[in-house]
């Protein structure tokens, strides 16, 4: 008996169009936040070394504070996409409003902690006596923008769930331009120094949040969805996001361990590690854009009770992940002699980074599979499994990485441990997707 192909050419082309339409704008929106930091650094850097150092410490704290709440985007995308697939746009937007209300509550709580604790947090991060005052100033002012940043995360999740990644791209571009203009005007034009940079960023962030709220509120009114906070809905959003918070914290712990181990190897190794980590992050944005498309598309198929469609698009996205990883890995190998000198002219740093970059290149196809399957399971609302899988990965990675200084191998061994970490993630995610337990159809999981 002849078996029909799992995904006919017409279906594959449809999947490809959907993936490209969602992933390309998503990538543009993802790189906006790093560009914010780069623009601030370029402007503040001309004020002096102490100001730039203060900005570096404050930005690290702010990035950490916001990144742990990325579940606001992930969980909201999955929940909204399911309801879109079920044809219930009113409930989809109502679910999104619950996520936005949760973002505002969490943002207020973070401000309440950061404002009084700013000096202690800056000291904990080891800021020098000259940089600390600038770090405290920037941190306190910028913390006022945290609720806006969390609203942006939740609203982005709403629009992704509605299969719209273009609006977040346009808002990100507008926010980046506004941030740059305001920073120059307030830092140099008004003479506010580093405080001007912080206020410019806060204003840009709240402007972005306002645009998102306008779009979501307009959609809510069009479909008759309530805008009022609903305690049960907010609580459900928090419960859905809790496993993803565990996953994110575990991943942050892995990155911190890798940096701590590299620091123990010496100044040249940790400098090379930071260069490689910046490239790793850029590559991750490219692959994560495909994962975001996966979250939105998988959630919609499952909401529409189309289990076979979800399997087919999962298979196609894995193929996209592998192909993207191979291309990115090849680019890393070809560009590494040109990339490293952009960051350091120290031959010792370059010698440490070059072989480690080969390991990073080899790892990219694995990364492509991991990011895609991560997005698939997020889109399916399979957060508890993702949390346990990441905890297991951390348990494998930590002892291996911590033994690197004992057994030698230098920075290349550290990134070998990172490759092992990604391989473990790939296995855990592949086993889950193969089992089919992630496939739960309907408007809610």
pLDDT tens profile 141-199 = 999 999 999 999 999 999 999 999 899 989 988 998 999 999 999 999 989 999 999 99
Reduced to 3 states (helix: H, G, I; strand: E, B; else coil), residue 429 is helix
For 18, the token pair is 């959907």
| CA distances in angstroms from 97 to 35, 117, 212, listed in the order given | 28, 30, 11
Q: How confident is the model at residue 91 (pLDDT cuts 50, 70, 90)?
A: very high
Distance CA 69, CA 249 (A): 10
pLDDT tens sequence across 186-229: 999 989 999 999 999 999 999 999 999 999 999 999 999 989 98
Alpha carbon 430 to its chain's center: 21
Reduced to 3 states (helix: H, G, I; strand: E, B; else coil), residue 238 is helix
Output the pLDDT for position 33.
65
> The pTM is what?
0.86
Q: How confident is the model at residue 5 (pLDDT cuts 50, 70, 90)?
A: very low
The angle at the Cα of 71, spanning 68 to 72, to the nearest 5 degrees, equals 110
Please list, residue by residue across 182-192, b when 16 or more beta carbons sit within 10 angstroms of its beta carbon and e when fewer do.
bbbebbeeeeb
- Most confident segment among 24-28, 262-266, 339-343, 372-376: 372-376
Name the percent of the chain lying above pLDDT 90.
57
pLDDT tens sequence across 261-291: 888 888 788 878 878 887 888 888 889 889 9
Contact 225, 93 (CB under 8 A): yes
């Amino acid at each position: 008996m002849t078996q029909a192909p799992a995904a006919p050419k017409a279906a594959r082309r449809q999947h490809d169009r959907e993936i490209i339409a969602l992933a390309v704008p998503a990538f543009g929106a993802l790189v906006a936040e790093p560009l914010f930091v780069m623009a601030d650094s370029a402007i503040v850097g001309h004020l002096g070394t102490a100001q730039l150092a203060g900005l570096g410490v404050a930005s690290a704290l702010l990035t950490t504070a916001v990144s742990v709440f990325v579940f606001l985007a992930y969980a909201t995308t999955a929940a909204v996409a399911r309801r879109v697939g079920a044809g219930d746009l009113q409930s989809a937007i109502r679910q999104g409003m619950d996520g936005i209300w949760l973002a505002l509550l969490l943002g207020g709580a973070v401000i309440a902690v950061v404002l009084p604790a700013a000096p202690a947090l800056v000291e904990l991060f080891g800021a020098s006596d000259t940089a600390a005052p600038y770090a405290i100033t920037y941190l306190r002012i910028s913390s006022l923008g945290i609720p806006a940043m969390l609203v942006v995360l939740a609203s982005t999740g709403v629009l992704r769930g509605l299969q719209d990644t273009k609006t977040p791209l346009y808002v990100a571009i507008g926010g980046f331009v506004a941030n740059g203009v305001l920073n120059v005007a307030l830092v140099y034009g008004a003479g506010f120094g580093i405080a001007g940079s912080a206020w410019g960023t806060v204003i840009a962030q709240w402007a972005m949040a306002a645009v998102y709220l306008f779009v979501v509120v307009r959609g809510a009114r069009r479909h008759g969805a309530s805008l009022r906070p609903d305690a049960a809905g907010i609580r459900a959003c928090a419960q859905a996001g809790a496993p993803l918070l565990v996953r994110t914290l575990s991943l942050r712990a892995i990155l911190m361990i890798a940096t701590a181990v590299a620091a123990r190897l010496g100044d040249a190794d940790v400098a090379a590690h930071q260069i490689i980590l910046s490239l790793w992050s850029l590559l991750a944005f490219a692959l994560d854009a495909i994962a975001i498309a996966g979250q939105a598309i998988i959630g919609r198929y499952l909401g529409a009770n189309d289990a076979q469609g979800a399997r087919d698009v999962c298979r196609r996205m894995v193929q996209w992940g592998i192909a993207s990883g191979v291309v990115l890995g090849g680019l890393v190998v070809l560009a590494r002699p040109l990339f490293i000198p952009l960051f350091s002219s120290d031959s010792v740093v370059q010698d440490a980074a070059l072989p480690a970059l080969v390991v990073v290149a080899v790892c990219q196809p694995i990364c492509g599979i991991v990011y895609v399957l991560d997005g698939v399971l997020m889109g399916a609302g399979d957060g508890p499994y993702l949390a346990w899988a990441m905890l297991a990965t951390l348990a494998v990675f930590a002892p291996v990485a911590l033994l690197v200084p004992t057994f030698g191998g230098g920075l290349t061994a550290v990134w070998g441990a990172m490759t092992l970490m990604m391989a473990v993630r790939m296995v855990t995610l592949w086993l889950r997707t193969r089992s089919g337990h992630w496939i739960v159809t309907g408007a809610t999981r």
